[in-house]
Amino acid sequence: MTTHTAGDPRPSDPGRLWIRQFHPAPRARMRLLCLPHAGGSASAYFALSKELAPEVEVLAVQYPGRQDRRDEPLLGSIEELRDGVAGALAPWLDRPIALFGHSMGAVLAYEVARLLSRDEETTPAHLFVSGRGNPAQAVSVPLDELDDRAMVTALDELGGTDIGLLADEEVLRMVAPAIRSDYRAVRTYRHAPGPLLPCPVTALIGDSDAMAPVEEVDEWRAFTSAEFSLKVFQGGHFYLSNQFRKVGELVYDRLSYSLSM
């Protein structure tokens, strides 16, 4: 049963479909909005939520077209996903908020942060971008144009997702549309020039991530007028799945500093 506290969306709020709380923390001074990778779901951040609670209240985004939202239409662009997230986020902005996104989620978190930064009162306290080169760099891999099995082979070669469950044909049929839609959103995204982010940015990357070389991730420093830092972890594109404790410690350290400012 979900606990609703002051400022939380009520059960009748349509935005509840987008935002999930695994470990409600009504006394936390900071919220962290987490945005999943292409083909991913809110549950990808359960472990990080557990690590940060109760000091930080983690909100995990559930995109349409997967798990309990599988009957909803998929959104095929970063802009549509951004607008959906931003629209659902309004009731959660009564406390300071930071954003964390991995891979596709990093670009989406960046775009949501740009929207929030238009108003000084809702400017994020921090942006964490993981497993993605700078947002102005276009991704040209057309995975969304391949058939299911060819797409899985390409994902395996890129190290772009955890393909273990995709060996099951029934699972593949269920999740392939969401993966294809998300990769189409990534491939067709084009960065629009605009003001630099006014919030600090921390970039995280695995040292053997073929999809996001360290030098490209370091280029995020050009997209903020505030402090920038880069943290390299051991592992590939999905380094995060094995290092939630270390990532949680880093996030908490950065957010504690933001709250002290």
Residue 127 lies in a domain: yes
pLDDT 10s digits, 235-261: 988 899 889 999 999 999 999 977 776
- CATH number for the domain spanning 104: value is 3.40.50.1820
Residue 39 lies in a domain: yes
In the residue annotation, 12 being an active-site residue is answered as no
| pLDDT-above-70 percentage for the chain | 90
Q: Return the pLDDT at 249.
A: 96
Catalytic residue among 37, 102, 126, 237: 237
pLDDT 10s digits, 81-97: 999 999 999 999 999 99
pLDDT band at 10, cuts 50/70/90?
very low
Residue 5 lies in a domain: no
Residue 10 lies in a domain: no
Residue 184 lies in a domain: yes
Q: What is the mean pLDDT of residues 201-217?
A: 92
pLDDT band at 14, cuts 50/70/90?
low
Q: What is the mean pLDDT of residues 114-135?
A: 96
pLDDT surpasses 80 at 111: yes
Residue 8 lies in a domain: no
Q: Return the pLDDT at 247.
A: 96
Q: What is the span of the domain harbouring residue 196?
A: 16-260
In the residue annotation, 225 being an active-site residue is answered as no
How many domains does the structure of the chain reveal? 1
Residue 31 lies in a domain: yes
pLDDT surpasses 50 at 1: no
Q: What is the mean pLDDT of residues 106-126?
A: 97
How far apart CA 106 and CA 209 sit, in angstroms, is 15
Q: Does 259 or 200 have the greater pLDDT score?
A: 200
pLDDT band at 144, cuts 50/70/90?
confident
Catalytic residue among 41, 49, 103, 117: 103
CA distances from 100 to 1, 31, 71, 139, 197 (A): 25, 11, 26, 20, 15
Give the global pTM.
0.90
Q: Return the pLDDT at 7.
A: 41
Residue 6 lies in a domain: no
Q: Return the pLDDT at 237.
A: 87
